[in-house]
Structure 1
């Protein structure tokens, strides 16, 4: 039986960074409760959806070391599944979300089964190719509405009690799902399973030599990441009451990569910060003449050249250096 201590790779952040991260998460939870009274609720709900999407992607890239170019398939696929189930089948929102998450997990199982057989850029290209196949399926499939998408999705009533047509009720519903998803990611990362994922990221050959079935762990991580991305997409379909081809396009996969790298891979707070920054920037530039794509491209270039660990990652590294200097 392999020794868990041997399988544990170098942690992505030190004790000081962990302490700072817990403080930030606690502050963020308190802020979530008050935000809808000071900020437009739809904007914050969009931010939470994409933050959860980025956290799901970070579970795969930051903690397993697998770069996927096809996560839009899970995000957008769940949006379509949930929108169709709620609007056409008339199911309740909670059932619709479960259908979306299950559909995304199934897609993750199929795509992951083929993709994990390769490594590096070949893995990324396979995920992109299969994601594009799903995109063209959505273009042709009847239930997706083609280029028009699925419009007018009813929010319904959660558990038959809470009317989600009310913006504040919908806000706290989204916030609860966001926190559940975030806790799920945290629990995975800080479990023995998460330690093995880190060991695979740091040294896959050593993990294999210790007797771990690396392929199975990779596939499990891929499916979990897909399911969480599906949760984000399903909630997004209810918030905005539509699902379109934009949700499954390759550009959406590029956006979540940008959000994660900008905030800092391998951290809990980084993807949330990155998603919030990108969504806020898009909202700010939506009414201006300056192209959003050029702005995000410039930011990505600056991040790669200056903030190699991402903004939050660089802050954590600075805190660790400061603690080490103070200790010595």
Structure 2
């Protein structure tokens, strides 16, 4: 009987679909779910999830694919939220130009902070980004246009491209979904480009990348700015979704949350941060009105995942026997 079991097993493995087919099917299912989600779920909840999923994916571009741990990404997320909210409310800009200003502002902040931080490595890099983000936090606390502790309230969503009224929840949802898909497409293209291959080589062995003639500092800075700009895109749409920008968006706790999301889902994976963001946002949403302390529950979930799923949920699946048989690899 033992001799007959091996052909059966091999035939079973042979009949498994390849990774490309599985990814296409899963992608279509996920897209179909997102298209109908606002009719079955609270639209604001789903939009918040999409904003933070893009935030985590942008952060993962720096941590997972370049190997740089930043504790300062809240500056780009909250900074873009402030820039977008101020431009739309005070200057009367249309939402698309307000978001564009947020992205540009976040990229400029990323260029300044990155130029300073990439001079150091490891924990020193992380601490420098944290210090710089705290400086930006106190700037937002004191600056006049941010309205201090009150923040910028009652931000109008405006009219997109002159004819799409974003005050309607359905229109706003599909706009956020479009921005999310665009952001993920950009991240996928960066990761799978020659530039992305160089970032991965820097992550794996920086000295070898330098010996091959690559200007490691320039590639790190470019990755930092790209991550900051995409984070700004998430921050800008978040300001329009909730119609406010406050100091909560630029606190160090916000940087901690996005690190948590990325680690839960799996660093160095394209969809891992999306799953991580979904877990954290769902816990925050459904535990907010309960008697359970949200931070403690989130901390317990994080602790369990770190102990049992060292690579994150998606990373562990990719490393499992089923994931290997299907042909998945951690960077898909």
- Determine the C-alpha separation between the residues in 1 that align with 2:129 and 2:75: 9
Match of 2:241 among 213, 234, 239: 239
Q: Deviations over 1:165-212 (max 9, x none)?
A: 000000000000000000000000000000000000000000000000
Q: Indicate whether 1:205 and 2:207 are aligned.
A: yes
* Aligned position for 1:81: 83
Q: CA deviation at 1:50?
A: 0.2
Residue number in structure 2 paired with 1:107: 109
Question: Partner of 2:43 in structure 1?
Answer: 41
Mapped partners of 2:298, 2:27: distance in 1: 26
2:192 to 174, 190, 193: 190
Give the superposition deviation at 1:290.
1.2
Structure with bigger gyration radius: 2
Paired position in structure 1 for 2:231: 229
- Structure 2: tracts of 5 or more residues without a match: 1-16, 328-332
Matched, 1:267 2:269: yes
Preserved CA contact (<8 Å) 1:270 1:310: yes
Unaligned runs of 5+ in 1: 1-14
TM-score, length-normalised on structure 2?
0.91
Alignment partner of 1:146 is 2:148: yes
Paired with 2:196 and 2:303, the residues of 1 have a C-alpha distance of 30
Q: CA deviation at 1:24?
A: 2.9
> Contact (CA 8 Å) 1:25, 1:269: kept in 2 or not?
no
RMSD over aligned CA atoms reads 1.4
Query: How much has 1:27 moved relative to structure 2?
Result: 2.2
Task: Name the residue aligned to 1:5.
Answer: none
- Number of residue pairs matched? 310
Confirm whether residue 60 of structure 1 aligns to residue 62 of structure 2.
yes
Bigger relative contact order (CA 8 A; separation at least 6): 1
Work out whether residues 47 and 279 of structure 1, in 8 Å CA contact, stay in contact via their aligned partners in 2: yes
- Does the 8 A contact of 2:19 with 2:326 survive in 1? no
* Residues 123-171 of structure 1 deviation map (CA, whole Å, 9 limit, x = unaligned): 0000000000000000000000100000000000000010000000000
CA contact (8 A) 2:80 2:105 kept: yes
Conserved 8 A contact 1:149-1:243: yes
Cα offset for 1:16? 6.1
SS in 2 for 1:242: coil
Give the whole-Å Cα distance in 1 for the aligned partners of 2:117 and 2:304. Answer: 31
SS at match of 1:68: coil
Q: Once structures 1 and 2 are overlaid, which stretch shifts more, 36-45 or 15-24?
A: 15-24
**Residue 31 of structure 2 corresponds to residue 32 of structure 1:** no
When normalised by structure 1's length, the TM-score is: 0.92
Query: 1:121 & 1:320 partners in 2: Cα distance?
Result: 33
Decide whether the 8 Å contact of 1:70 with 1:253 is kept in 2. Answer: yes
